[in-house]
């Protein structure tokens, strides 16, 4: 009898262990041992891409005979593609392929892209003939040469768009089964530390190698770094936890738009039924932007038959999430011009014309001056978090020291000041350059404008991210980073458009463009004054956007409200499969 009982117990334990085996197998994977593979992949990708971006304006002007405006436009579009495509990388990852496959594809794409770019420096047929010889004329760049160049830049952009939005989330996936929040917090700290260090290395070491040893050696470094990045990530493949792809969070937002448009002619009634989710993120339907409430109403009279099946109707939670996204858009648009300031390459051209000697044997590369912006951001964020926040919290009763919208406003004011300082410094430099004496102005005069740009980014950009995370529901937390990166992309595109317009207008009638490739005969200072004025207008626009956001968020009736009957009727709980 006892033997039978022990046998039955043993059989039960075996069945239980068999059922739990997949979970145990998952727990055996992941963990801290996967962090070096993931962090090195992301850090090396930044070293490769930022190491190219910093000096690329000189390569385009020297190797491809581009004007400063054309080269700046190419780099702005390249930057916009690298950041703007991130939202598509996240969409493909969350909806179709999963994070591991997308990161792997991105790593290989970046490696191929930097290899092709390196080939333009070592294969003479891929670039036009040099104009350095005194008796030779510049031959135009052929469409094939430009196509090969733009193709390599496009592959690098695709790689960055696949790696950056997925890498940090993929690393967090490896620690979820361990249920240790401290491990996850430690991972985020190491991740951001590695990102900052890699950007600093790209702006100093890689740029220095390119300046001292030429493009052939300089571009070989990103190729080697990107090869190590892809190899390290793939070597850890057997250790990773790879979650199955779930339904994309973006699909629910698209569904709200489609159904609201389909039901645009109906009138909301007091006895209407609304489709609610049966999950824990349940919210109540608000009166703001009531035209969107038509997306979640459930009626048999709805044309299109969507009302008869609640599972095909967006939930109240999805509608309110979409409203949250609409509410942040005005404030989001006010941050675009800040990234336009940051995307400019003219400070690098200024530094090239100034005295960059630190000692008699060491000269700071012109592209390395962006290091002051990076250091300012890093130092200020740490100082603000550890010193300023505890001090201000006592007076403002705000856990974050200052409200995110206040920080964003301070950042916009600092961006105005940075452009004013840039204009003044360039006016002084240009005055010396136009005289008969040799320009002997230290490039350290550029440091204040880089520091001010860093402070403006630290205030406004970090404030934006905090604002998005606080305004959007938790189910859309991943979208907050995507929204932020899209603003960077739009800012780069606006910078490209603005430089082309200014160059076209100021060169009408055969005049010298403000943005001439020879900045000693142009007027980059006028361009900075124009940016100062635009940033001032943008600050007043931001104040209006804050009022709009407040009206859309307040309980009173505000913008876009339709004064119809309130939602006092029934509700339907969405059935889940």
Region of poorest pLDDT, from 115-129, 215-229, 353-367, 443-457 = 353-367
Which of the pair, 179 or 556, is modelled with greater confidence? 179
Coil, strand or helix: which one is 178? helix
Strands 273-276, 571-573: pairing is: parallel
Structure tokens at 78: 């390249």
Q: Which residues pair with 357 in a beta bridge?
A: 363
Q: Picking from 4-8, 19-23, 511-515, which range would have the lowest pLDDT averaged per residue?
A: 19-23
- pLDDT one-digit tens code per residue, 377-432: 878 877 887 788 788 877 777 777 788 888 899 999 999 999 999 999 999 988 88
Percent pLDDT > 90 in the chain is 16
Burial class (CB in 10 A: 0-12, 13-18, 19+), 288: buried
Instruction: Please answer whether residues 83 and 481 qualify as being in contact, where contact means their C-beta atoms are separated by less than 8 angstroms.
Output: no
Question: Cα separation of 347 and 421, whole Å?
Answer: 12
Q: Determine the 3-state secondary structure of 309 from DSSP.
A: coil
Helix segments in 270-384, DSSP class H: 316-333, 336-342, 346-352, 371-383
Question: What does DSSP assign to residue 54?
Answer: T
**Which pLDDT band, with edges at 50, 70 and 90, does 247 fall under?**
low
Contacts of 267 (CB under 8 A, 6+ apart): 564
pTM reported for the whole predicted model: 0.72
Write out the two tokens for 37. Answer: 């593979």
Q: How confident is the model at residue 564 (pLDDT cuts 50, 70, 90)?
A: very low
Q: What's the pLDDT at 192?
A: 60
- Cβ-defined contacts of 166-170 (< 8 Å, 24+): 166/89, 166/90, 166/93, 166/99, 166/102, 166/103, 166/106, 167/38, 167/41, 167/42, 167/103, 168/42, 169/99, 169/478, 170/38, 170/99, 170/100, 170/103, 170/240
For residue 572, pLDDT beyond 70: no
Q: Average pLDDT for residues 108-123, to the nearest whole number?
A: 92
Contact assessment for residue 512 and residue 291, using Cβ atoms and an 8 Å cutoff: no
When mean pLDDT is compared across 231-235, 309-313, 321-325, the lowest value belongs to: 309-313
Q: Has residue 555 got a pLDDT over 60?
A: no
Q: Which two tokens mark 10?
A: 């043993």
Work out the angle at residue 496's Cα, subtended by the Cα atoms of residues 491 and 499, and round it to the nearest 5 degrees: 120
Quick: pLDDT tens for 335-391. Answer: 899 988 988 878 888 888 888 888 777 788 887 888 888 888 878 877 887 788 788
Is 6 a residue whose pLDDT tops 70?
Answer: no
| Chain segment 473-498, per-residue pLDDT in tens | 765 655 666 777 788 888 888 888 89
Average pLDDT over residues 70-96: 81
Residue 132 reports pLDDT greater than 70: no
> Does position 544 have pLDDT exceeding 90, yes or no?
yes
Predicted confidence at residue 72, as pLDDT, reads 82
Residue 304 has pLDDT above 50, yes or no: no
Mean pLDDT check: name the lowest of 15-19, 177-181, 342-346, 437-441. Answer: 15-19
Q: Is 98 left (phi over 0), alpha (psi -120 to 50) or beta?
A: left
Delineate the domains of the chain, giving CATH numbers in brackets.
29-129+141-246 (1.20.1250.20), 249-301+311-320 (no CATH), 321-554 (1.20.1250.20)
CA separation for the pair 52, 203 (Å, rounded): 9
Arithmetic mean of pLDDT, 159-180: 75
The per-residue pLDDT of the chain, averaged, comes to: 78
- Euclidean distance between CA atoms 410 and 422, whole angstroms: 18
Select, from the ranges 76-85, 342-351, 438-447, 534-543, the one with the highest average predicted confidence (pLDDT). Answer: 534-543
pLDDT digits over 518-537, tens only?
888 888 999 999 999 999 99
At residue 15, the pLDDT reads 47
pLDDT > 60? residue 435: no
Q: Which residues pair with 573 in a beta bridge?
A: 276
Overall size of the chain counted in residues: 577
- pLDDT for position 281: 59
In angstroms, rounded to a whole number, what is the distance separating the alpha carbons of residues 29 and 22? 11
- What does the radius of gyration of the chain's CA atoms come to, in whole angstroms? 28
Give the mean pLDDT of 225-239: 88
């Amino acid at each position: 009898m006892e033997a039978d009982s022990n046998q039955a117990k043993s059989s039960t334990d075996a069945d239980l262990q068999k059922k739990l085996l997949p979970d145990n197998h998952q727990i055996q994977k992941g963990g801290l041992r996967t962090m070096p593979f993931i962090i090195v992949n992301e850090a090396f990708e930044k070293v490769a891409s930022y190491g190219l971006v910093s000096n690329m304006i000189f390569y385009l002007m020297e190797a491809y005979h581009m004007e400063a405006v054309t080269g700046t436009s190419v780099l702005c579009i390249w930057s916009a593609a690298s950041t703007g495509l991130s939202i598509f990388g996240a969409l493909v990852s969350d909806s179709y392929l999963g994070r591991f496959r997308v990161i792997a594809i991105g790593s290989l794409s970046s490696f191929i892209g930097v290899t092709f770019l390196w080939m333009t420096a070592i294969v003479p047929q891929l670039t036009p003939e040099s104009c350095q010889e005194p008796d030779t004329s510049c031959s135009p760049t052929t469409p094939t040469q430009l196509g090969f160049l733009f193709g390599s830049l496009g592959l690098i952009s695709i790689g960055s768009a696949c790696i950056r939005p997925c890498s940090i989330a993929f690393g967090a996936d490896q620690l979820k089964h361990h249920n240790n929040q401290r491990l996850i917090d430690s991972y985020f700290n190491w991740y951001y530390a590695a990102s900052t260090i890699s950007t600093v290395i790209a702006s100093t070491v890689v740029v220095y190698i390119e300046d001292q040893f030429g493009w052939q050696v300089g571009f070989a470094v990103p190729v080697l770094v990107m090869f190590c990045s892809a190899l390290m990530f793939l070597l850890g493949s057997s250790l990773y936890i790879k979650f199955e792809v779930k339904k994309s969070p973006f699909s629910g937002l698209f569904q709200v738009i489609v159904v609201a448009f389909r039901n645009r002619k109906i009138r909301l009634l007091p006895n209407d039924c609304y489709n609610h989710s049966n999950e824990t993120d349940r919210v109540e339907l608000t009166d703001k932007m009531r035209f969107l409430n038509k997306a979640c109403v459930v009626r048999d009279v709805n044309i299109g038959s969507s009302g008869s099946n609640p599972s095909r109707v967006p939930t109240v939670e999805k509608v309110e999430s979409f409203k949250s996204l609409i509410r942040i858009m005005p404030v989001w648009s006010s941050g675009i011009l800040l990234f336009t300031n940051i995307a400019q390459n003219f400070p690098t051209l200024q530094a090239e014309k100034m005295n960059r000697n630190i000692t008699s044997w060491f000269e700071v590369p012109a592209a390395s001056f962006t290091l002051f912006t990076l250091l300012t951001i890093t130092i200020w964020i740490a100082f603000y978090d550890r010193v300023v926040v505890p001090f201000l919290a006592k007076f403002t009763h705000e856990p974050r020291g200052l409200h995110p919208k206040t920080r964003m406003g301070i950042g916009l004011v600092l961006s105005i000041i940075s452009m004013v300082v840039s204009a003044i410094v360039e006016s002084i430099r240009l005055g010396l350059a136009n005289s008969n004496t040799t320009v002997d102005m230290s490039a350290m005069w550029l440091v204040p404008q880089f520091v001010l740009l860093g402070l403006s980014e630290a205030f406004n950009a970090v404030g934006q991210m905090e604002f998005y995370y606080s305004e959007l529901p938790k189910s859309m937390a991943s979208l907050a980073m995507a929204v932020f990166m899209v603003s960077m992309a739009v800012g780069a595109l606006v910078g490209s458009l603005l430089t082309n317009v200014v160059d076209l207008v100021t060169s009408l009638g055969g005049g010298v463009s403000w943005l001439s490739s020879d900045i000693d005969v142009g007027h980059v200072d006028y361009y900075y004054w124009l940016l100062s004025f635009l940033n001032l207008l943008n600050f007043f626009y931001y104040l209006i956007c804050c009022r709009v956001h407040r009206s859309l968020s307040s309980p009173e009736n505000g913008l876009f409200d339709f004064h119809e009957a309130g939602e006092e009727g029934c509700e339907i709980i969405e059935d889940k499969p």
